[in-house]
Structure 1
């Protein structure tokens, strides 16, 4: 389910108050924001106003709320409109899914212990559970990963599936915290996006032993040759263009959208975020050719030469 949810490395203009690293032995998901939202939702019979959301939820929010607000929660008025449009979803999120999320401490600690063994020098991020505008399952920022309860709850059917989904997010988003920051302006933006998300899924699979999105993989594997031809064509279409030059509706923008950032709007017949799987496959082939596996993992996080990775990890008929 990982790729069917909007995921991104958060862009920040602030670096203050980055939370301290987490000890994997005592790590736990921080639910204060979700708990505060739940109390407000219940007290207002599921109809909190924008003013109430601002003063009782956003203004008192954790570092996680600060990370999640730009481009997701946006502002109190937008959040109020989303709650009003989907009150049953938000009720289910706080009454059914929030209690399940609080029971995933063992999954989180197991995941973090695996990361600590793989990358002992890396500081593990805090994990915040917040309630957003049902447009993002999670994002990552300096020292933190932040998960959107209502979106994760919506895709959890039956609700107990949330445990597996959360473990996937704990692992995928942690990789994003570890990855070197990049503005996407160097090299081919489509290639960087695919390799960034593919590395997160590949390393997450090493840590958990689970394919991040089994349904997407089942769709893609028998079609790999034709998907590869499409990807090569899209790389040509996006060659030499900066991200801000890919205007909506242009062939370049459509080429990027075919693979990433297409939650709810994937091409007909395609699963969401097919580029995650394609990137993972490129890294799998590249990784198999590296003698020093530990150094290879660190190189994935840095992504210094995307073209070289592509050359080594390309699909061969």
Structure 2
């Protein structure tokens, strides 16, 4: 669904920043730290230029002055002043819409507190770094790595037509997915992954999001897969060793869902969890997975397998 264009209302951004960043830094404050100073700085520029910031302004006043989280996203996902300016010109509505999405953050933070407590309960050594929310070039929605923490692209998250219409749910489940990636040592090794390796990394994050936040982040697969489970997964088996991921991953757009590798990987991970006699050990195995082939062999999964709706705990 396309969100309607909202005007640049005064939503108390400075107050929100204090509410998140300041309270999260206090010793007794619960919940994750959510950093939104990059968003504040972007919209200062955006508003001052009537929604038409120049490449020079974006570089000097936004990227150069950005947080470590923004610099990480820029480096890992080719977010440049030019790419942002080009996308603002191409899709102005997603930048107009995105600022209003911040209204849900107080409730998001409350729910993430519960989700992260569950993550730490299930995986006591879990790392829970701050969430940095930034504005980028229309993608990615989010990234998470063990060494660099977790970043969410506000304009991308708010613009994806096929995500749940509930913005609060979007934030909660996507951030829970990315927190799982932060735990995965194998997630740092992104070069030349096979279809199976990358699908299992994403499937593990989806499964962890379901266990900790109540739902997977990418919950659009039922209409794409219903009645075709065996057909799709048989094709996946044939492609599992390929390093060309384009048929299975990174093929969604803001308007069109895809990424069936997430769905197959989730089902393999869920099968592993359901077949393991010790749920605690199974969850550790899922997050610490290093040998995709061995994990698949132990999972009990096969194309078209029927799995219970809710995982055991």
**TM-score relative to the length of structure 2:** 0.80
Q: Aligned pair 1:82/2:92, yes or no?
A: no
Q: Aligned pair 1:98/2:102, yes or no?
A: yes
2:54 to 49, 57, 62: 49
Give ranges in structure 1 of 5+ residues lacking alignment.
Answer: 2-19, 244-252
Q: Distance in 2 between matches of 1:223 and 1:23?
A: 50
Tell me by how many angstroms 1:140 deviates: 1.2
Tell me by how many angstroms 1:172 deviates: 0.3
Q: Aligned pair 1:179/2:184, yes or no?
A: yes
* Residue 302 (structure 2) aligns with: 315
What is the CA deviation profile of residues 76-132 of structure 1, one whole-angstrom value per residue up to 9, with x for unaligned ones? 1221121122222211112x2122335421122121111121122222121011000
1:118 to 112, 115, 122: 122
**TM-score relative to the length of structure 1:** 0.79
Q: Distance in 2 between matches of 1:64 and 1:103?
A: 22
Q: Distance in 1 between matches of 2:270 and 2:288?
A: 16
2:189 partner SS:
coil
Matches within 5 A, 1:242-261: 243=243, 253=244, 256-261=245-250
Q: Aligned pair 1:303/2:289, yes or no?
A: yes
| Inter-CA distance 153–271: structure 2 relative to 1 (3 Å threshold) | closer
Q: Aligned pair 1:230/2:235, yes or no?
A: yes
Tell me by how many angstroms 1:276 deviates: 0.6
| Inter-CA distance 155–24: structure 2 relative to 1 (3 Å threshold) | farther
* Residue 10 (structure 1) aligns with: none
Which of 1 and 2 has higher RCO (CA within 8 Å, sep 6+)? 1
What is the CA deviation profile of residues 193-230 of structure 1, one whole-angstrom value per residue up to 9, with x for unaligned ones? 11110100011111122243333134324211111211
Displacement over 4 Å in runs of 4+: 156-160
| Inter-CA distance 43–24: structure 2 relative to 1 (3 Å threshold) | same
| Inter-CA distance 295–23: structure 2 relative to 1 (3 Å threshold) | farther
* Residue 275 (structure 1) aligns with: 261
* Residue 21 (structure 2) aligns with: none
Give ranges in structure 2 of 5+ residues lacking alignment.
Answer: 2-24, 305-313
| Inter-CA distance 179–138: structure 2 relative to 1 (3 Å threshold) | same
Q: Distance in 1 between matches of 2:220 and 2:205?
A: 18
1:145 partner SS:
strand
1:128 to 115, 122, 132: 132
1:210 to 206, 215, 232: 215
The CA RMSD measured in Å over matched residues stands at 2.8
Residues 233 and 303 of structure 2 are in contact (CA less than 8 Å); yes or no, is this contact kept in structure 1?
A: no
Residues 35 and 132 of structure 2 are in contact (CA less than 8 Å); yes or no, is this contact kept in structure 1?
A: yes
